[in-house]
Structure 1
Amino acid sequence: MSSVQILHNPRCSKSRQTLQLLQDNGIEPHITEYLKHPLTEAEIKTIFEKLGCNSVLDMMRPKEAEFAQAGLDKQTITTEEGLQAIARYPKLLERPIVIKDNQARIGRPPEAVMELF
C-alpha cells in the first residue's frame, strides 16, 4: 500500500474540499500543514518534479504579497528562484497538493487529485 500525503491549509476552502474528497473515497492521507511546518527547498524541488510542472509558477501563488516581497517577476523567474522563495515564504505554495508515490497533483479543482488513484 502506498502512502498518500496532502499539503494542507485548513483555512483554504479548496484544501478542505480536497481532504474531504479523499476521505469520502476511503483515503486517509498524511496531513502536512505546510504553513506550520514549512518544507525544505529540497522537498519543494521533489514535489515540483512529481507535479511535472512546466514552470515553477504552476505551483506558486504569484498574487500573494510575498511574491513581490521576494523580488520575483513572473516574466523572468527561474525554477531555482521559485523554489527558494517557496521555502522562504511557504504561503507562496499553491494548495492543496496531494502526493502519492512518484506523482503529485494540485487540488484545483479538488477532483484533479483523483487522477492519482
Structure 2
Amino acid sequence: MSGTGWRLRPGRASDAATLIGIEQRACGLLRGHPAWSLFSRTHLAAADHIDAAGKGRPWVAEAEGQVPGYALYGELDGAVHLEQMDVEPADGRRGLGAPCSSASRHAPRRRDPGG
C-alpha cells in the first residue's frame, strides 16, 4: 500500500479482527527486544475493540478498503490520551503513525457513562 491515498475514519466494531491482526503482526517486530515478553502478553481482545468502537475511541487509517494502522484513545482524569497504536509492519515508515497518533483531536471528550 502506498503512503498516500489513505484517510482517517472512526473505527467500527467490524474492524476488531483486523485491528487484532495488525497489533499481533506489529508486536512480532519486537521479537528479540527486551520489551517482547511484556507486549507479547498484552493483546487487546475483540470485545475490547468492539466496546471501544461503541465509545468512539478508535481511529483507523484506511485506503482502498484496507486498514494499515490505527490508534485507540482513552480518557484519564478528563484528558484524552493514546492507549494503543499499531501500523502494519509492511506499511511502516510511510507516514501513517503521526496522523494516527494525533487523531485525538477527533476523540470524544465525554465521560464513559459506565466509568
Fold conserved (TM > 0.5)? Answer: no
TM-score by length of 1: 0.33
Structure with the higher helix share, 1 or 2:
1
Structure with the higher strand share, 1 or 2:
2
TM-score by length of 2: 0.34
